A and B are shown apart, each in its own frame.
Chain A
Amino acid sequence: MISNNVKIKAQDLNVYYGKKQALFNVNLDIHSKEVTALIGPSGCGKSTFIRCINRMNDVIDICKIEGSIKIDDKEIIDNNIDVVRLRESIGMVFQKPNPFPKSIYDNISYGPSIHGLADNKSDMDQIVENSLKKAALWEEVKDRLDEPGTGLSGGQQQRLCIARAISVNPEVILMDEPCSALDPIATAKIEELIDELKKSYTIVIVTHSMSQAVRVSQRTGFFHLGKIIEVDTTEKIFKNPGNQMTQDYITGRFG
C-alpha cells in the first residue's frame, strides 16, 4: 500500500559542518503514514538528514543548513519558526536508548506536562497508559511505573523511548538506527511495533540493516557521500534498483 500523500518535502538541501559539506542538494519526498527507510554506508548523511527534519542540528553551533524542507507545505528551515512546536509534532528515537534517569512514569509524562497536554492526574495517567500500550510496553511495566526507566532492558528502554516520543501525539517519528544496540529478539519487537505505528504516524527510519529496511519500510532512499542516489519503493530498490551503486550496496559489494 503506497500512499501518494507527501508529508515532508526536502528540496535542494545542503548542510555544512563548518567547512565540510555533509549533504549535497538532497531532494527527497517522505509520504504520509508509511515507513521510509534511509540506507547507505556510515557517514553518508542519513542521520544528518533526519536531524534536519526536527532541527536537532541546531544544537551543533557550526552546523549550517541551506535549502528547504516543507512539512505539510510549511517551511521549517526558517529561523522564525518555533523549534519547540516543531519538535512537539516530530518525535525522535535515537540509536542508543536514552531514557531520562527518572521513573518510567515520569519518562512518559515529561513531554505531555511541558506541553500542557493533560489537565489533571487522571488525564496524565491515561496518556501514560496509552503511550505505553502503543509502544507495546504496558504489559511489561504496568506494575512498576515508579521504578527507574534506566533499570529496564535495552529493548524495553528503546520501547520506552518510543512511548515517550508518541506521548505528545506527534505526526512524524524519526528513528535513527533504533535497533543497532539491540539483540535480534528486541529488534523483532521494535519492528513489529513500527509496523503497527505506521497506521497513525509517518515514520522515517535510518538503518544499516538491509533486511530491516525490507521488512519495515514501504519506501527506501539510498544515500552515498552526502548525496541521495536513489529513492523508490522498497520493493523496487531491492529487486530492481535503477542505479549500479545501489545495486552494489544492497548486494554487499561495498559499504
Chain B
Amino acid sequence: MTKEERIKKRYNAEKRFKLYGITSVVLAILFVVFLIYVIFSKGSSAFQKTIINVEINFTLDSLYLDPNPSKDDLENVEYYDLAIESLLKVYQVNGLKEEKALINLFSPDYEYEVRDFLIKNPEFINKKTILKLTASDDMDQLHKGNYPRHLPEDRRRINDFQLMMYDKLVEQNKIDKIFNNYLFQKGDSRNPELAGIGGALVGSFFTIIITLLLSFPIAIFASIYLEEFAPKNRITDFIEININNLAAVPSIVFGLLGLGILLGTFDLPRSTPLVAGITLALMTLPRIIIPCRASLKAVPPSIREGALAIGASKVQSVMHHIVPLAIPGTLSGTIIGLAQALGETAPLILIGMVAFVVDIPSIPTDPSASLPVQVYLWSEQAERGFVEKTSATIMILLSFLITLNFIAVYLRQKFERKW
C-alpha cells in the first residue's frame, strides 16, 4: 500500500465513522418524535370534555325547599327529580326506554353537577340558567370523532336512537367541548368522563417529597463520609461494591422489600405515599450516592491540599472547599435520581398503590394513587375514554420529568465554577 492509499483509507474510515454516528443520532431523534407524536395525538383530546347544555329552572318547588334556604338546606335536599326533569326537556322522548336512552347520554353525576352549581351560586334560586352537564364517555368519544358509529347497531353501546338524538343536539348547538377540569380535580373513577389524575398528582407529590427528604441527606452524608473521611480498607471497598450493586438491583426488588418490611414487619398503612416514599428512597439512595461521590472525587486534590496546608481541619477543607465544588454534580444527580423515582411503577404496585382510590389524599398516610401507576391502571381498562386519559397522564408525567431534567441542567450550569 502506498502512502496515498493509506491516507485515503484513513479518511474513508473517518467518514464512515461520522456517518454511523449521524445515523444513530437521527434514528434516536426519530424514535423520540414518533413516541411524542403518538402520545400527543392520542392524549391531547383528554384535555377537553364534551358537555351538553341543559336548561334548569331552580324553583323552590322542584327542590322541595322553603323560602330563603340556608346553605345546609341547599346541601341536604334532593336534586334528582329536578335534574331528571331538566334532562328530559333536552329532547322530546316518549316512553321509559327512550327516556333511559336520553339519560344515558349524560354522565351518571348529573345530579351532583346540578347540586354543586347551586351550592356555589345560591343566587340562582328561582332563576333559570343553562348548565353545561358532562356527557357520558360514549357521547364524549362520539363527539371527539373516536367512536366507530359505522358499526352495526348490535356491536355498539350507543344505539341508533341515541345517535339520532346526538345528531339533532349537535344541530341545535347543544353539544360542545370545553376544558376538562375534571382531569386535574378528580380522583380515579370507573367512568372515564369522571376520572381524573388529581389523586395521582397529589400522591406522586407526597411520595417524591418523602423520597427527597429521606434519601438526599442520607446520601449526602454517606457520600461525603465515604469519599473524604472513611479509611480505604476492605470494609469500605465492600461497602462501595454493594452501593454499586444496589443501584443495579431491579426496582421491583425494592417493592418486595417495602412489602415485606414496611407493610409486613412495621405494619405501615398500605397503598400510601408514606410507604411508597420510603421504598423509593431506598431505591434512590445508591443512585444519588454514586454521582455525589463521583463529583466529590472530581474536585482536584490540589484544592484539598491548599486548604489543609493553610491549616484548615479536615471538616473545614471538605465543607468550605470540596463540597461547594461538588454541588452541581450532586444536585443534578439527585434530581435525576428523583425523576427516576417519580416514574417508577413496579415497586409501587407491590406495596399496594394499584388499589382503586377515588379520594384525593390530604396527608401522606392516606391511601393514594400515583402517576405511573395510574397510567398502568388505565391502560388495562376496556373503555375507550381511558385510552386518551392514559396518554394524557403520560404527557403530564413526561412533562414533569422533562421539567426536572431541565432544572438539573440549569442548576449544574448555575453552580458550575471553573478552577
Contact = CB atoms under 8 A, between A and B. Distances in A.
Interface in A135-191: 148, 150, 161, 164-165, 167-168
Given A61-B232, A110-B320, A114-B316, A168 B311 contact: yes
Interface in A86-116: 87-88, 91-92, 94, 96, 98-101, 110-111, 114-115
Number of contact residues on B: which range applies?
Answer: 20 to 34
A47 to B, nearest CB: 12
B311 A98 contact: no
A81 interface: no
A78 B143 CA distance: 86
Interface of B is mostly: helix
Contact of A100 (B232, B306, B308, B418): B306
Given A61-B231, A101-B418, A114-B316, A91 B310 contact: yes
Interface residues of A, number: 27
B312 A114 contact: yes
Given A94-B305, A100-B321, A150 B310 contact: no
B309 A92 contact: yes
Interface in A25-62: 54, 56, 59, 61
Interface in B80-136: none
A84 B315 CA distance: 11
A111 B306 contact: no
Given A94-B306, A161-B306, A115 B311 contact: yes
B310 A164 contact: yes
Interface in B262-321: 300, 302-313, 316, 320-321
B408 to A, nearest CB: 21
Given A100-B303, A100-B321, A87 B419 contact: no
A99 B310 CA distance: 11
Contacts of B303: 98, 100-101
A99 B312 CA distance: 14
B305 A84 contact: no
Interface string B385-406: 0000000000000000000000
A96 B321 CA distance: 17
B325 interface: yes
A179 B137 CA distance: 80
A50 to B, nearest CB: 11
B417 interface: yes
Contacts of A54: 309
Contacts of A150: 418-419
A85 interface: yes
A114 B316 CA distance: 8
A167 B306 CA distance: 13
A23 B340 CA distance: 52
Nearest to B232: A61
B310 A87 contact: yes
Nearest to B325: A101
Contacts of B302: 94, 96, 98
A87 B306 contact: no
Contacts of B305: 56, 59, 92, 94, 98
Interface of B: 231-232, 300, 302-313, 316, 320-321, 325, 417-419
Interface of A: 54, 56, 59, 61, 84-85, 87-88, 91-92, 94, 96, 98-101, 110-111, 114-115, 148, 150, 161, 164-165, 167-168
9 contacts: A88-B311, A91-B310, A98-B303, A100-B321, A101-B303, A101-B418, A110-B312, A114-B316, A164-B310
Given A59-B308, A94-B306, A100-B306, 14 more contacts: A61-B232, A84-B313, A85-B311, A87-B311, A88-B310, A98-B305, A98-B306, A100-B419, A101-B417, A111-B310, A114-B310, A115-B311, A164-B306, A164-B310
